[in-house]
Each structure stands twice: as structure tokens, then as C-alpha cells.
Amino acid sequence: MTVRKTEIDEKNLVTVEFSFTPEEVEKEKSAAFRKQSGKFRIPGFRPGKAPRAIIEKMYGPDVFLDDAVNALINANYTEITSAPGKEIVSRPSFDLVSEESELVIKAEMYVKPQIELGDYKGIHVSAYKAPVTDEEITSEIDAARKRNAREIDVDDRPAKSGDTAVIDYEGSVDGVPFDGGKDTGYHLRLGSGSFIPGFEDQVIGHSAGDDFDVNVTFPEDYHAKELAGKAAVFKVKLHKITFEELPEADDDFAVDVSEFNTFAEYREDVAKKIADRHAATADREVRDKLDTALAGLVKAEIPAPMIDSEVEAMIRDAESRISMNGIDFKTYLGYFGMTLDQYKENSRPEAEKAVKVRLALEKIAADTGIEITDEEIDKEYQSIATGYSVEVDYAKEQLPKEEIVSNLKLRRAADAVKEAAVIEFTDKLPEPEKAEEPAGEDKKEDR
């Protein structure tokens, strides 16, 4: 193979023109004939016994050309794709240019662009870091108390809101039972609003062992259309009443639910964990704003295949997350009235941002000479193995060292951007953005 010329345009589309000698083409045509001759049915010849000249006479002189071209391209694929001297970011497309003295083929492929990056040092961002309030601490502690609550049977008073009533019930409309209107041993939390309006209120005040009727009317917008707006009677048997007894928020509780000996220490730890969560949330906001700013500093013509690849990666990630909940991705999109093509189109701006950020971080890593040590690589493999509960050797088999090094360089570059940034945190929620007035409409004076 001979590379005849290589050209690149302003959109980073590279054209590589290369040629093969008649001898190279003839060799592959002969190989194609030997491999495929049995497929042809020629009168007077057994399958696979017809001469090549006879087959070419009946089916055309180029009957074996496509296979020969494909074989030549496959055999020289690495040389073809390395001809641009840059990393390619799309699958090459091939076109036949000439068959005269030599077989000339043109390949087109996009390459990773060389970018111009503005000054990324001193990017200014602000982020909301929520303050830790007494109400939040108390709420978290109360949630822990609720998780450790005891169910206490009530036998000395009627049911009240907040209790759990264990009931049998059967409903009817005009004396006729309806589907789904019957259950036994149901645990109903009174005041939860989980039953038809008015049902729980009529259980309140009854005692364990009572039999009584509950009269309700189904809402007009009830999901079962045949019951919507209908008056119903439920015959109810109240078997048992229980309530939750929360543990006291004291030292004994702290010992039971934590490694601390006093409630004061436990409360302080709860506050610290809340503060850490708020800080992590604020840090994610900072990272996202830095990414947005960094992407805005990138000057380059981004090849469409790079954005396409990022969109596909985003879809694979979303499919993986959604499937963990047992939901098919297309079914999930259907909940929002969205097709896969619409999802892809909506994802393109974020995908383009991600591509620009990666290009920027790669440039920063290269320009600043970031190097990764073997110790860092081993530590990363260990972290991945721990995270996925696999052996380190297995992680090394699945993830090439080059990929680990690349990711670590990007991480270090991102850290450098953050260290050089001017970051402000506020404990005041940002004002909601005001909707812009439609363009071209004059303001009307109040009258």
C-alpha cells in the first residue's frame, strides 16, 4: 500500500488517499475466488470447479473486487488510520476513487481537534452551602429514633390519630361488594391519608374488638371509574391497636445506635455528618460550575462523532442506572412522553460540554507535565477493586493501565483548575431566576 496524500479541513475531517498495485489487488482477488468459488452455480461445472475466468465472464470482471478491497483495507487498517498522525475519533468511511493503473481508495475520518484554551486560572464561582440547623439535626435524630421504635399494644383506650389499626374490611356500593374492596389483617396507620377521605377518621374512637360501618364517598376523580363519586359502606372489624414508642433521646439511646457514650457526642457527630453532606453538595455545584466555565474557554471545532460517542456513553450510563430498578430504559422514557431520539437530542448540549471539558483537562495535563506514579496507579486499582468487591488482579485485567493513567491525569488537572479558582460559599439560597419577557413585546403601563 502507498499513502498518496493526507489532507485535513477546518472541521478536523481528514482525507487519506492511498493506493494498491495491480499485483496486490490480483493477489486478493485470487484469494477471494478460492474462498467463494463454491457459491457460484455454473452450467456444466460442479460447485467450486468452474474456472475463475468463466465466473468473471458470467458475473462481471469485478465480481471479486469488493472482497479484495475489503481484505486490503483490513490488512492495512492500522497504517491507514495512523496516516493522519493524530488520534482518530470516528470510524473511517471508504470510497473507491480509481481503478485505472492502480486501485486508489479514499478514507475519511475525524481526528481529535487541537484546542485553544483561555486562561483557566482564577475562574470565579460561588456555591450554596446549606447551614446545619437545629431542626435538621433533630429531624435526623428523630428518624433514628423512629427506626428503633417499639410497637406497643393498646388495650386501655380507643384508637387515635398516629396509631396503627389492624383491621378486616369489606366494602360495597348499593349493597354489592366490589373488586379490591376487601382485605383482612390490614395495618392502617391512622392519619396517614392512605385510604379514602373520611375512612380513617371513622376508625378513630373505636376500640379493639369493635365491629362497625364506615360510610364514605369515593372522589369524583377516583382511578376506578366505576366507583368514582359513589357512596360506599365498609364493614370493619378492629382487631388490634398499636402505637410506636420512640426511645428517649438520651445517653442510652446514643450507646444503642452509635459508637458514642453520650447523647451530646452522638448529636455532635450527626451535625458533622450533615455538614459533610452539605459540603459535598456544594463541592459538586462548584465542580459543575467550573466545568461550565472551562468548557466556555475552549476554542475548537468539535467533530460531531465525538459528541455522538459521548451521548451514547450517557445513554449507557442512564440505562444501567434505570435497569437497577427493574425498568426498561425505553419504558422509562415513555413515562415522560419522550422517544430515544428526543432523549439523544436533549443530551447533546451536556455531551458537548463534557467533550470540551475533557479536551481542556487533557491540554492542561499535557501543558503542566502531570505525571502519574506507579504508587498512584496501584492505589487506584485497589480503590476500584474495593468499590466493586473484586480482586485487584481482576480489576487490572479489565481496566488497561493506560486508561487508569489517563483518568488520573484528568483528575489531577481538574484539581489544579479548582485550586487556581476563586471559590465563594454562601449560606443564603440563590434568588430564583426571573423569567425573561418575550422578545418584541412592549411593556404595557398599568392602568
CA distance 173 to 233: 7
CA distance 355 to 311: 10
pLDDT at res. 100: 83
**Which of the 8 DSSP states describes residue 416?**
H
Q: Partners of 109 in the beta sheet?
A: 14
pLDDT at res. 434: 57
CA distance 425 to 278: 11
CA distance 211 to 240: 12
DSSP per position, 37-100: GGG---TTS-TT-S-HHHHHHHH-TTTTHHHHHHHHHHHTHHHHHHTTSS-B-S--EEEEEE-S
Domain ranges of the chain: 2-112, 150-245, 281-426
Question: How many CB atoms sit inside 10 A of residue 46's CB?
Answer: 9
Question: How many CB atoms sit inside 10 A of residue 175's CB?
Answer: 6
| Entry pTM | 0.75
Question: Top-level CATH class of 2-112?
Answer: alpha beta
**CATH topology assigned to domain 150-245:** Chitinase A; domain 3 (3.10.50)
pLDDT at res. 37: 86
pLDDT at res. 353: 97
- Grid coordinates in use for 12? 478536523
**Tally of residues, the chain:** 447
Q: Which CATH number, 1.10.3120.10, 3.20.20.150, 3.40.228.10, 3.40.50.1370, labels domain 281-426?
A: 1.10.3120.10
Angle, CA of 217, 223 and 228, to the nearest 5°: 35
Indicate if the alpha-carbon torsion angle 211, 215, 221, 227 is positive or negative. positive
Pick from 17, 401, 10: nearest CA to 1: 17
CA distance 87 to 102: 28
Q: What is the pLDDT along the chain (447 residues), one digit of tens a residue?
A: 999 999 999 899 999 999 999 999 999 999 999 988 888 888 888 888 889 999 889 899 889 999 999 999 999 999 999 999 999 999 999 999 988 889 999 999 999 999 999 999 999 999 999 999 999 999 999 999 999 999 999 999 999 999 999 999 999 999 999 998 999 999 999 999 999 999 999 999 999 999 999 999 999 999 889 999 999 999 999 999 999 999 999 999 999 999 999 999 999 999 999 999 999 999 999 999 999 999 999 999 999 999 999 999 999 999 999 988 888 888 899 889 999 999 999 999 999 999 999 999 999 999 999 999 999 999 999 999 999 999 999 999 999 999 999 999 999 999 999 999 999 999 887 766 554 444 444 444 433
**Which of the 8 DSSP states describes residue 196?**
S
pLDDT at res. 433: 58
Cα–Cα distances in Å, from 321 out to 197, 326, 327?
37, 10, 9
- Grid coordinates in use for 110? 475525524
**Which of the 8 DSSP states describes residue 114?**
P
